[in-house]
Structure 1
Amino acid sequence: MNDARSLKALLDRCDAAEAEFLSLVEEAGSSSLVQEVERKFLGKGGVVSMLSREITELDAEGKREFGRRIGSLRKLIEGLAGERQRALRQLETERSEIEEKIDLSEFLFRLNTPRLGSLHLVTQAREELEDIFLGMGYVVAEGPEVETEWHNFEALNIPKFHPARDGQDSFFIDAPEGKDGALLLRTHTSPMQIRLMQTQELPIYAVIPGKVFRRDTPDARHTPNFHQIEGLVVDKGITMAHLSATISTFTKAYFGSNFESRLRPAYFPFTEPSAEFEITCAICLGSGCRTCSSTGWIELGGCGMVHPNVFHSVGVDPEIYSGFAFGFGIDRLVQMKHAIEDMRVFLENDVRFLSQFKGVQ
């Protein structure tokens, strides 16, 4: 099947899934049934997830169009399911108040009833970020949290004498070394750039979310275990302008049009030229505070054009292909979007804090 026919078939399946969802959610007579319908379409292994996996069958243009369709379908399902659940819960509450006598004993029972949990705020942000990039035509990829020195450092043009490779900065694992060097907990999601270019045909438009680990001293902006989302684009004719436009689109989609962002020249071994991506501090709105070290700006991650040495590591000809990469801290994105002063609160499991963000997007 050619790409055009394959894209049409996938779009037709999206239309069919949308029609089926609209029918089921309309027939659902209770909020719990609506929740089951939503889980059928958006849950792990659900209809939308299975459709998303087939994006790899398409060419670059097809991936962009199909990604936009999947993103719009997901938002439609989330929006309508949420509205339907709220409406049914209101009806159920009104019916319960009429049919049941509310007295002190029932009030005490409700106080002792366990409350339903929800996704952690960082997990919610990760899913929202995935949706944003799927809508931009990217695919979502995941990689191992335990990496080799070659994938984590050498293939990314990080030499043996670099301080990041010292035991005081990285978590090395006490295990026999293989042909690719020692094992360690990955210090960034960038090793998946190497794995993608080794295993997938070009062009590549992908984002890689996941946990990373560094020997950082916990403070308002750092924890030893945090989350990143990595982006990689490799194609013919890619320039710094494409990177700038991508970051601008992402910033507006996630933070809103009122937030300012900027790129500052920087150095990273695996990109050249390189830049840091910063936004206005949401805590002080640019006036300076403890969280932003009184600068008015928060650095969220790094980006740049893929270094030719990285291409050489995986056998890609930099005279034919070019690309860009970016990596942002998801925890720090959440910190800025919701004006949270100290990142350590994410790990404290304080229900009073976490319960404020049920269903927040």
Structure 2
Amino acid sequence: MDDLRQKYLDAIAGAADENSLEDLRVQAVGKKGEVSLKMRELGKMTPEERQVAGPKLNALKDEISSALSAKKAALGDAALDARLATEWLDVTLPGRPRRTGTIHPVSQVTEEVTAIFADMGFAVAEGPQIESDWYNFDALNIPSHHPARAEMDTFYMHREDGDNRPPHVLRTHTSPVQIRHMQDNGAPCRIIAPGRVYRADYDQTHTPMFHQIEGLAIDKDISMANLKWVLEEFFAAFFEIDGIKTRFRASHFPFTEPSAEVDIQCSWVDGQLKIGEGDDWMEVLGSGMVHPKVLTAAGVDPEEWQGFAFGMGIDRIAMLKYGIPDLRAFFDSDLRWLRHYGFGALQQPNLHGGVSG
């Protein structure tokens, strides 16, 4: 037993790393280790022999286990000292400056618009970006011969040969959210529906994917006067111009009747657009009273309920408010552009459409 004790104490003292130490532990006091095997032999001894050998074996096991623990702690301390010697850091050095990210104008303007309409009692509704032909066109009273349904304007999804169902589309507007919301919640309702939409177009003022916000208010006595007030209040808050003038022009949209395009007062001075002054007008959105066929498609009785709807491009009003000349730059991921037109994390929209911080 003395030889066994000296053998393992010397080996433990000379262990170079924790892996070697673990091997020694298994050889000595593991389930099949030498000390463990000797302890199993106690059962074959006489009571007198066990009284002598038992305490000695327990003492040997405890001494080896203690030596293993002490050596493991020493190896851990040595490893930590080595790391501290190579991985030190001077905490008195000044911090390294890092560029902070900015909030994209689309995200900022979406929050601004949401805050303004929330203050007027509008909730936010959302819907899928891949829509069925029925939700995107039929339920909105868009006839089969309408130009918007042509492949040159709309992205259609693929159908397998022999599948005669109308193909799904990448939604061309957020108007399908109106139908889905009324189907699920009925009337009355007052919602806005911001989100991505897709059309096959690309130039300075059009991109294949852009952002739109839809507004819908349904009740028993809503009129065009309510629509006019809501939009004038929105423009005054968003552009931060009291008394901004608007102009409603008769138009035609399949999903509203009567329909109107809305212009806001503006002027061009030395090539610069100024909103809220001058004698010129700029078209910013389409609107009107919800067509009875749209209400019927959504499961709302047009004999009992009526309301207005409007839709505008988030990217477009962002360009107007913040003087951004090219819509395509919104999606170029140019860090220089983002640093110039982006917003700081503390510049949060307030209820009046401006930014604070």
TM-score (norm 1): 0.64
Q: Can you give the 5+ residue segments of structure 1 that lack an aligned partner in the other structure?
A: 1-98
Q: Larger radius of gyration, structure 1 or 2?
A: 2
Query: Residue in 1 aligned with 2:75?
Result: none
Query: Residue in 1 aligned with 2:283?
Result: 299
- Select the structure that is richer in helix: 1
Matched residues in 2 for 1:131 and 1:198: separation?
Answer: 25
Over 6 Å off, 4+ runs: 99-102, 177-180
Percent identity reads 45
Query: Residue in 1 aligned with 2:197?
Result: 212
Matched residues in 2 for 1:182 and 1:193: separation?
Answer: 21
- Which aligned pairs between 1:77-92 and structure 2 lie closer than 5 A? none
Matched position secondary structure for 2:211: strand
Matched, 1:160 2:144: yes
Matched residues in 2 for 1:126 and 1:175: separation?
Answer: 34
Contact 1:261 1:280 in 2 (8 A): yes
Contact 1:218 1:224 in 2 (8 A): no
- Which aligned pairs between 1:189-208 and structure 2 lie closer than 5 A? 189-208=174-193
Matched position secondary structure for 1:346: helix
Give CA-to-partner distance per residue, 1:151-196, whole Å, 9 cap, x none: 0001101000111101111000103598973201000000111111
Query: Which among 313, 327, 331 is matched to residue 343 of structure 1?
Result: 327
Matched residues in 1 for 2:311 and 2:194: separation?
Answer: 9
CA distance 1:288–1:191, change in 2 (3 Å): farther
Matched, 1:331 2:322: no
Give CA-to-partner distance per residue, 1:53-91, whole Å, 9 cap, x none: xxxxxxxxxxxxxxxxxxxxxxxxxxxxxxxxxxxxxxx
Contact 2:187 2:300 in 1 (8 A): no
Query: Which among 274, 296, 304 is matched to residue 259 of structure 2?
Result: 274
- Which aligned pairs between 1:307-322 and structure 2 lie closer than 5 A? 307-322=291-306
Matched position secondary structure for 2:241: coil
CA distance 1:182–1:225, change in 2 (3 Å): same
Query: Residue in 1 aligned with 2:232?
Result: 248
Matched residues in 2 for 1:349 and 1:261: separation?
Answer: 34
Q: Can you give the 5+ residue segments of structure 2 that lack an aligned partner in the other structure?
A: 1-90, 348-354
- Which aligned pairs between 1:1-361 and structure 2 lie closer than 5 A? 110=97, 113=98, 115-175=99-159, 181-219=166-204, 221-257=205-241, 259-281=244-266, 285-286=267-268, 296-356=280-340, 357-359=342-344, 360=347, 361=355
CA distance 1:291–1:160, change in 2 (3 Å): farther
- Greater relative contact order (Cα < 8 A, sep 6+): 2
Give CA-to-partner distance per residue, 1:114-138, whole Å, 9 cap, x none: x221321110110111111111111
Matched position secondary structure for 2:303: coil
TM-score (norm 2): 0.64
> Offset of 1:240 from its aligned partner?
0.5
Matched residues in 1 for 2:332 and 2:142: separation?
Answer: 34
Tell me the amino acid that sits aligned with residue 225 of structure 1. M
Q: How many residues align?
A: 249
Matched residues in 1 for 2:118 and 2:293: separation?
Answer: 29
> Offset of 1:300 from its aligned partner?
1.9
Contact 2:186 2:300 in 1 (8 A): no
Matched residues in 2 for 1:210 and 1:233: separation?
Answer: 18
> Offset of 1:297 from its aligned partner?
3.2
> Offset of 1:299 from its aligned partner?
2.0
> Offset of 1:260 from its aligned partner?
3.3
> Offset of 1:353 from its aligned partner?
2.0
Matched position secondary structure for 1:274: strand
